[in-house]
Structure 1
Amino acid sequence: MKLDATHLTLFAWFVVGGETSSTCRQPPGHVLMQVAVSNLTRVEPDLASKGPRLQGSVCDQLIASLPCNQSLVLNESFDMNARCPGHCPYHAMDQRHGMSFCTASCVAASQCARYNPDAPVADQEAGTCRGALVDGCYRPKLDGTDSCLQCAAWYEQTPSGQCQVQYLWVAYLVAAISGCALLLILGYLVHLHCRPITNLQGLNEGLGARSQQKYRDPTDRQLWPWMTNLCRTEVGGPGLMLHFNFLAAVVVWALAVGLGWVVLAYLVDTELLELGRRPYGTAYRNCVLVAFGHSTQQRLMWAKLLYLAMVYLATFLGSLAHGLRQRRLFRQSNVQDTMKAFSALVKGLPSIPASEVHVESDLAHVVSSLTGQVVIGVSVCWNFGHVKAEVDQLLQHDTSASTSDVPDVHSGWLHRTVMQVEKALLRRLEGSQEEPQEGAALELLRGVRSSSEAYVVFETRAGRDRALSTLSQGFSFRGHHVSMAAARHEPRSIHWQNYDGSCQSVKWWKLLKGCCCILAGLVTWACVFYLPYAWSILTFNYEGGRQPGILYSLCFSIIVVIGNVSMYQICATVADHVGFKYKETREACYMILYFISVSLNVLLDLAMTYYMSFAIMVHLGFRTHEGVPLTKLPYFVQRFEAYAIQRAMGQNLYEYAFPSTFLLPFLGEPAVAVGGLLRLGMLLVRSHPEMGCRATMSLLAAQDFEFGRYADTLLNVALAVGMFFFPGGYTHWIFFMLAISQAYIYALDHWRVLRVVPASTFASMQIDWWCQVLLAPCCGLLAACLIFKGNCHLGFCLSHQHLLLACLAAWLLHIVLHLLLLIFVVPLGDSEAKSLAPHLRQYQQVAAMEPCSWFSANPIHCLRSKHVHRHGVPCSFFTPGQESTMEVNESIGCYFSSKNIKVQDASNLKSDFRMNKVVLHLDPDEENVICP
């Protein structure tokens, strides 16, 4: 009889229908429809899923008003913000019939416990029935109050039924110690700032040396103009130019992908821009959110798959085209006459003591007599890593360090103690100031032997090439067969102290130990920083739609930045410890280690985020669109594909990427890593007149330019690509933020290269090639995502067990294919670049403009010139910032003569210092100010 009455009710609903409301075209009898559906649900539970679909077919708009005490099966037809009538103002999830679907009713406060015993509290602000709101509660009371019966681990129960953190005094103690340390640091900085200026001359010298170290136009030795196009101009060699081209390519790619997604959304459905961004909240809203999200995602999946396929093909082909373009740019730059254009690398030399006089002349004579070409000189690579400190001391001994004793106007014991500590530290930085004993250099050279390599410098590039052609099969030198090949690196990019003759197995062993250190750092970071954050998120109470506030987001951003910075420092130390001969090889190793370590860092973050999201969604009672609780899903793929997890992971990935990873680590770089360190160094130098030139230059010198940007950018690209695994609401935002962040990084590096970092030359494309290799797994993520999202949509339907294997196979297959094309196909499209002008320049002309030559960059060569060969004007050792001390001696290949260079100066800033201000500027009328 009830079923007949229900059918009659449905018929009456259709008969009286026809009027519309402002929100939804609902007939006046739509409430009767609700009652009819509710009756159908109670009589025939298997029709529960049919009711909402019948409802949705009648009403094209969302249902915004709900009846009282009627059980409604929720789906996408309901408005997420629908409110209950005033006499039954609370949403209650109906658990009375044990149905698997999200069923809600509008009830009065007294009815909350009857409809859902687990949510007996009536929350007037949220308009819902919820559970007890107690952070850290494991088993809440069910008496309708916000109180707890049993608290979770690391919490203790209070007499009022609340939970408070145990050992809270530890957190207060840590906060107090941190606060005291911060106050001490601030007090020390204030003390530095208020000290009298007693070493303005030393500050002048240090700033002048810092200024001379910067990149300068070799034609006039002036700073490069601000508007220099670093994508086309070789300021620091072709390797640096390729770096800027890569950054620019990522900006264009990210902007194109983001704009393409927006255009697709407006052509197909703007829900693509909202899907996954609607916030969760009350139990009612969460049920409607899942139903809406799943149905919309499935309805628009064809558009996403089409766009994903287009992005995959465009990115894959674009990365190969980018690799070809980079090779051509390198070829075009390689035709220019730089130091390496005149040099050939000889390998296979016997071990010769550095005290022997005729090593260079004998090798030069053999090569010249066999080839008929003019040889300027030979620079032998010596094994002196074990005595590097002594060599540096001999080369950079400062006999002009001030020893004047400036009266101390402050007589307080604290001031004297701080000054003494600083002086002790500065003496360690300065090294020994004792005058080297007579014959110390010769004694040291007797313990140094040559490596198996040397650089032969020819007068012209054409002469070098003819000599290589003549000696293509090698030649004999002192009973050893040696080979000769064109030099691939510039003198600035060679670590001369690392020619220690160690075999590759030693370097691999050092690298393995370094990887263990990286893993240890990763585990330490996870235990010290990440686990406390995860614990605080998991013990947060989300009842009634509560979400962690901005403090949690700030802590998460700080944790991500700390993780990235710690990996940066560890990887840099490991790369230095391996002992590579060339700076490009060190930078490539550093980039690979940093990319892998930060990728592991990100994978750990994402894994923890998944488990936290799953635990939170389970706590909030989320179900699948079919009404199955998340805890009853047996497989990872099923859980991962549940819309509640998809939405939470998409939001977490976006928040992880921006600003935590994309932008925050780089925002503080100009103020802290550049300006802050310079300011601290200036404050120390100006108050210590006893400081020598070496310590002054060390404190005021800028950090070298490193290629960690490659790894950062590749990681950012991988994070942006990963967003395709999740609903599309954040897709355009993450790519737009990537483009903006990379544009900022490009501008930051542009400024650092032109105005901050010491000059260095990156002559090979080794770093960029490894970057192209690491692009393969990033592109492979798109292939894996296409398989994952296309399951049961692209003509195949794999089981949950096999889907992950298929994604992994697609990722690996793409990497293999990408690398094969990169190694064997891309070079085929590259042809030898033709020089725009004939090679008429000689070595003398290039060496006259470049202070760092094959001879001046070699420390042992300079010591031999002075103490073994006893040249009247010995070969000057190249020290960045002291170019003006270098002397010309054409007979030994030294041609560089310093010109007047505009430098940063502090002599005119005396009044600014007295007002506790520092102003850096370029004074065009200032003479060179350098350390003697």
Structure 2
Amino acid sequence: MASFSYANGDEPGEFSEGLFICLVVGSQLGLFVVSSMGAKHASFQSEDETQKAYTMFYNAALILNLVMDIALQTYLSYLQMVGVGAHTSDGRLLGSLDSPQQIFESYPIQKSVGKLLFVYCWPCTFFVPFLAEPLAVQWLPKHLGQYIVGANKKIQGENAEKALELGEMEQGRYADCIFNVILMTCIPFISPAYLAMTLAALLFSHAYLYIYDQIKVLRYVRKFNFSDAEVHWLGMQLFAIPCSILAGALVFKTNQMSSKSDELGSGYLKGSSLLIVVVGAAVVHFVLHLLLLEFVVKPMGEEPGSKSSTPYKEAACSCPATFLSTNPVFCLRSKYVLGHNPPQAMYCPGKEHLMQPNPSCPAYYQGPSSKSAASK
């Protein structure tokens, strides 16, 4: 991608773009694996904390990878265009520009960075990873498990169940969506010609994500319950990043519009002053965003807790997951120490039909199979 000058209308070929897509998707897959392993090996007390750590690790790694990748590609593209004698819109040689602001605002660089960033967004980040996810995460493990269990008669009982069980629902989609929006908010810094295309690609990919996740929740994951909104709250805080990038882009484009039409980098702010104001606007917006979330949004969303008046017996009749049925130590004591008959069954999603009531445990939930057996 960086070996093309873009100066005379040259565009990278299909092979170059395909190779670039593979490199970007491969790097993101590697970052996903490393972030997941880091969050899991941190041994947090709750799954929510693990998901929060993964979201922060993954977003930080993706942002760093984006900055390094685009910066390197832009620099190599600049050297290539200088080597072939690329000209700016006013006829000057690109190599004759003496300030980074003029270089970045020149048409060849704007087109080069815009093309790189657009390909980075679509289809590298917005679509390809999520297009492969149903095949790699849902269909392939399921059919491999069926083949292995069917071909090997030694795999029985619990081992067979583990080979065929569905995956767990995770909240890592926050990291994916937030990074997609971060990429989208980088587009206003460059030529606006890519804005509509990138926004359309973002809307299409997120519509696909919504449909896929809806099917995934209903058909391809085990029963789950997110008891609080900690990861959702972290997502709202991380959303301050794309909003602050937009604030910086607004300052940059406003200054660019104030410049003379025939002179690059002639806006009201120049050089380091422009950089300081752009970064300052982004930082101020970031802080204000977090303050509004903490002192305005959070108090409005808090509801006073109310104690349930439902007796334990009544609640346990309709809910198989209780304090006792989810405690493996008590289930063992019920069977081997206390001698309950039937003992307190361990709650396992998908096996509620095996649970039998015994008020002496106390166990009150009666599964469908035990109900039919009792009626017979």
TM-score by length of 2: 0.88
SS at match of 1:604: helix
Cα offsets for 1:514-551 (capped at 9, x unmatched): xxxxxxxxxxxxxxxxxxxxxxx455688975533112
Cα offsets for 1:488-530 (capped at 9, x unmatched): xxxxxxxxxxxxxxxxxxxxxxxxxxxxxxxxxxxxxxxxxxx
Equivalent residue for 2:290, pick from 819, 824, 844: 819
CA distance in 2, matches of 1:673, 1:871: 42
The match for 1:339 is: none
Decide whether aligned partners of structure 1 residues 641 and 567 sit closer, same or farther in structure 2, where only a CA change above 3 A counts: same
The match for 2:277 is: 806
Decide whether aligned partners of structure 1 residues 726 and 552 sit closer, same or farther in structure 2, where only a CA change above 3 A counts: same
Q: CA deviation at 1:554?
A: 1.5
Decide whether aligned partners of structure 1 residues 681 and 626 sit closer, same or farther in structure 2, where only a CA change above 3 A counts: same
CA distance in 1, matches of 2:33, 2:321: 28
Q: Is 2:151 the counterpart of 1:682?
A: no
Decide whether aligned partners of structure 1 residues 541 and 621 sit closer, same or farther in structure 2, where only a CA change above 3 A counts: closer
Q: Is 2:243 the counterpart of 1:779?
A: yes
Equivalent residue for 1:747, pick from 198, 202, 211: 211
Structure 1 residues 464-483: aligned runs within 5 Å? none
CA distance in 2, matches of 1:872, 1:900: 17
The match for 1:582 is: 46
CA distance in 1, matches of 2:198, 2:157: 48
Structure with more relative contact order (C-alpha pairs < 8 Å, separation 6 or more) = 1
Equivalent residue for 1:663, pick from 118, 124, 127: 127
Decide whether aligned partners of structure 1 residues 747 and 615 sit closer, same or farther in structure 2, where only a CA change above 3 A counts: same
Q: Is 2:14 the counterpart of 1:550?
A: yes
CA distance in 2, matches of 1:640, 1:542: 14
Equivalent AA in structure 1 for residue 217 of structure 2? V
Q: Is 2:63 the counterpart of 1:599?
A: yes
The match for 1:401 is: none
Higher helix share: 2
CA distance in 2, matches of 1:542, 1:831: 54
Q: Is 2:316 the counterpart of 1:847?
A: yes
SS at match of 2:92: coil
- Provide the aligned length of Structure 1 versus Structure 2: 364
Q: Is 2:42 the counterpart of 1:561?
A: no
SS at match of 2:360: helix
Q: CA deviation at 1:645?
A: 0.5
CA distance in 1, matches of 2:362, 2:121: 53
Asked if structure 1 preserves the Cα contact closer than 8 Å seen for 2:114 and 2:190, the reply is: yes
The match for 2:263 is: none
The match for 2:332 is: 863
CA distance in 1, matches of 2:301, 2:159: 48
CA distance in 1, matches of 2:129, 2:256: 41
SS at match of 1:892: coil
Asked if structure 1 preserves the Cα contact closer than 8 Å seen for 2:55 and 2:175, the reply is: yes
Cα offsets for 1:631-656 (capped at 9, x unmatched): 23333222211111111111221111
Equivalent AA in structure 2 for residue 749 of structure 1? D
Equivalent residue for 1:647, pick from 101, 111, 115: 111
**Percent identity of paired positions between Structure 1 and Structure 2:** 32
Cα offsets for 1:56-94 (capped at 9, x unmatched): xxxxxxxxxxxxxxxxxxxxxxxxxxxxxxxxxxxxxxx
Cα offsets for 1:462-483 (capped at 9, x unmatched): xxxxxxxxxxxxxxxxxxxxxx
Equivalent AA in structure 1 for residue 292 of structure 2? L
CA distance in 1, matches of 2:247, 2:47: 35
Looking at CA atoms only, which structure, 1 or 2, has the larger radius of gyration?
1
Asked if structure 2 preserves the Cα contact closer than 8 Å seen for 1:722 and 1:781, the reply is: yes
Structure 1 gap ranges (5+): 1-536, 902-926, 928-932
CA distance in 1, matches of 2:87, 2:160: 65
CA distance in 2, matches of 1:556, 1:752: 30
The match for 2:353 is: 884
Asked if structure 2 preserves the Cα contact closer than 8 Å seen for 1:849 and 1:896, the reply is: yes
Decide whether aligned partners of structure 1 residues 689 and 647 sit closer, same or farther in structure 2, where only a CA change above 3 A counts: same
Decide whether aligned partners of structure 1 residues 588 and 890 sit closer, same or farther in structure 2, where only a CA change above 3 A counts: farther
Q: CA deviation at 1:856?
A: 2.1
Q: Is 2:300 the counterpart of 1:829?
A: yes
CA distance in 2, matches of 1:778, 1:542: 29
Decide whether aligned partners of structure 1 residues 659 and 541 sit closer, same or farther in structure 2, where only a CA change above 3 A counts: closer
TM-score by length of 1: 0.37
CA RMSD of aligned residues (A): 2.6
Q: CA deviation at 1:623?
A: 2.2
Q: CA deviation at 1:585?
A: 1.7
Decide whether aligned partners of structure 1 residues 628 and 893 sit closer, same or farther in structure 2, where only a CA change above 3 A counts: farther
Higher strand share: 1
Equivalent AA in structure 2 for residue 823 of structure 1? E
The match for 1:714 is: 178
The match for 2:199 is: 735
CA distance in 1, matches of 2:81, 2:135: 41
CA distance in 2, matches of 1:811, 1:900: 60
Q: CA deviation at 1:873?
A: 3.1
Q: CA deviation at 1:826?
A: 1.6
CA distance in 1, matches of 2:5, 2:247: 38
Q: CA deviation at 1:713?
A: 0.4
Decide whether aligned partners of structure 1 residues 543 and 575 sit closer, same or farther in structure 2, where only a CA change above 3 A counts: closer
Equivalent AA in structure 2 for residue 580 of structure 1? F
Asked if structure 1 preserves the Cα contact closer than 8 Å seen for 2:184 and 2:202, the reply is: yes
